[in-house]
Structure 1
Amino acid sequence: MSNVAATAKSLQNSTGTSYKILIIIGLCHLLNDSLQAIIPAMFPILKKSMGLTYTQLGIIGFTLNMVSSVLQPAVGMATDKKPMPYALPFGLTSSMLGVFGLAFAQSFELIVISVIFIGLGSAVFHPEGSRVAYMAAGTRRGLAQSIYQVGGNSGQAMAPLITALVLVPLGQRGAAWFTIVAALAVGLLTYIAFWYAAKLRMNKSLIKKKSKISNVNQKGLSKSVKIALLLVLFLIFARSWYVSGMTNYYTLYTIENYSFSISQAQVFLFVFLVSGAVGTFFGGPLADRFGKKTVIFLSMIISAPLTILVPFAPPAAAICLLALSGFILMSSFSVTVVYAQELVPGKIGTMAGLTVGLAFGMGAVGSMAIGYLADLIGITHTMILTGFLPLLGIITLLLPSDQKINEWNA
């Protein structure tokens, strides 16, 4: 094993799996992503109360996605060089200020500024949160990343509930209640930051050794690793585009084709998102046992027939297909993060930023593309075409095996 990889492995395996830390960071991920979920959930409220146009709503959504996603790889690269434990509570403090501003903003410009604060907090949290999960993993990297990521997916799945239970009855000011959620996250992350800092002090000699080795061996990534990383990102983009299409447009499809109310349509979306969160949890342990490449491949290929059938199914069958496809497709969510981190050892934050942050940003681009397509050919035909995206998972066959990656790092 190379010196860099050996040092990174020693740092990660210096203690056993810390389930307490994993559960806390997973809960913080849930709280952070539920704060992000407030923004799209508020769109109908803001449109009605402030008379915002669809273009303005699109700018708000685009601002959140770009700030929170594009900055993630940059934060990851910076913290790979110099870990910053206390950035976690400071980041969520930024989100708390953004939520407060969102609740009381009286103009479009103030809403955008508030969204930037929320996005900045999220951009800091995700790569550092993934690093905490990595450090607490011990030898169970897949399980650790699953616990961490299931929190985020559960937070995103709360958007329909936030809309129905909080924002519809309370309006824009109802978002102020989520400052309590943010304050709770800040408190928990302060505890995490002390653990993180203590962990770094305990491994100070290993970190110094790793830093010196990294400065001496600046060989860069091999061609094979670069190709594999591009393939992983392509697979993530395909999955993100499908999930984004379902999240943003499937409710419109059900309203048009099933004559559902907005509330009924939200139930279908909620089932898909919650099933995906459950699948995220089980994917990691399965990858620890059967291999990461295997889980990534099967999650996309097995889900493809289900996603293709969804637009053609009657409501009762559709909700079952949504539950199954969400569970299977999202089982590879955390696995791709771990795969990328092992593909490029020593770059934990950077890989987390790329695989989660950049993918989230590409989901936003995909959402815009799918919306444009829906304007051209209609929502029904668009959802039919979107269902074929998981078939791109066949590209997983071109990825190097887990054993091959271990050989590269040897």
Structure 2
Amino acid sequence: MDRRELASLLKQCGSLERPAHSADYRLGECAVRLLCSDPELYREIHGVLSPAFGGESGAELPAGGWRFKAMVSDAWDFERFAQAAEEETVIAQSSGYRTLRGKVVEDATVRYVANAESGNLIAVDNGRKLAAAIGRKPDSSLILDASATIRSILRSELERRGGFVLHASSLRAKDKGVAIIGEKGAGKSTLLMEWLMNAGAACVGPDRTFFWKDGRDIRFSGWPSEIRLKAETVADYPGLQAFVHQDPTLWNGEKYEIPLQRLSSWQVPVVREVPLHVVIFKQYVPDMPDFQVQPLHRREDIVRELRSSLYTPVDPNYPNWIGVPNHSERKAEDTLLGTPGLRFMKLTGGGSRERLLNLAQELVFDENYEQRTHHP
């Protein structure tokens, strides 16, 4: 498959013709329009992306918006591409989850990536803001390649405009937006589950959260991912246990993985674009019999907590080999610390789940907590 044939495929993606199955996914002011002629393929991609990025259909894309086409094409041939790209870059990257292999061809502003595992082609034209995922059949691998590329583009656009991604669970409790930041094993998911199951909160992001400046405020939305829960955690919630046992595919051998789009099946709402009010730095210390709360006011204390538990996460199954710019979280500190009225709390220790939830709710809803309570 020569470059002229590849360019012809990508040109189809840039067609202004809008099929019946289309949606605009948004993250702040960033947008990607999905165009898909196959209804089943569209439904599956939309199911993955819509909980975090919406999916309304607008008349006009905002300035700088991308167009993305998910295609099934008999003209695409992985073996022919691999032969033609024999002298090109070969991708072999261990991501901790799997080893990804593929072939890459660069042509001006266009990057063509052939995924050896799926047999699909991902084409990205940064200059014209066109992209596509092309396969020979509308199977699960094409759904994964398409949704992963769209979310990578949205992340890149958000970061280019000063936004950032944190390793954080996030939720909306009544009218308050809460981000729970901590390293792996800090208890972010435990606190999130308590809020969702026992306090009527809405989920925003299970493990990764996008943040951006909106005037004087910060807003945040989630990443299309899964809530990963240990079996003993699921056992604490009978309703959740009954739900996951209905679908054996949710168990990966170590944890239950519940996709964001499945949360509504057990009456847990998912929301997006929520104003941020409180940041809780969570640290689990099993030999502490109770939790200790430390309000953080000094810049150096807040920066220390951010730097010890904050990173821009790489999509574990789809590292950034599609060529969109990957910006760091370098603006996170200035953005968070420069927002008036934002409150920072450190919650350390161990104790009962009931105590954890009650204390967290007190921190969020009682704005005079620091003045009322003595903290050694």
Q: TM-score, normalised by structure 2?
A: 0.24
Q: Which structure has greater helix proportion?
A: 1
Q: Quick one: higher RCO (CA 8 Å, sep 6+), 1 or 2?
A: 1
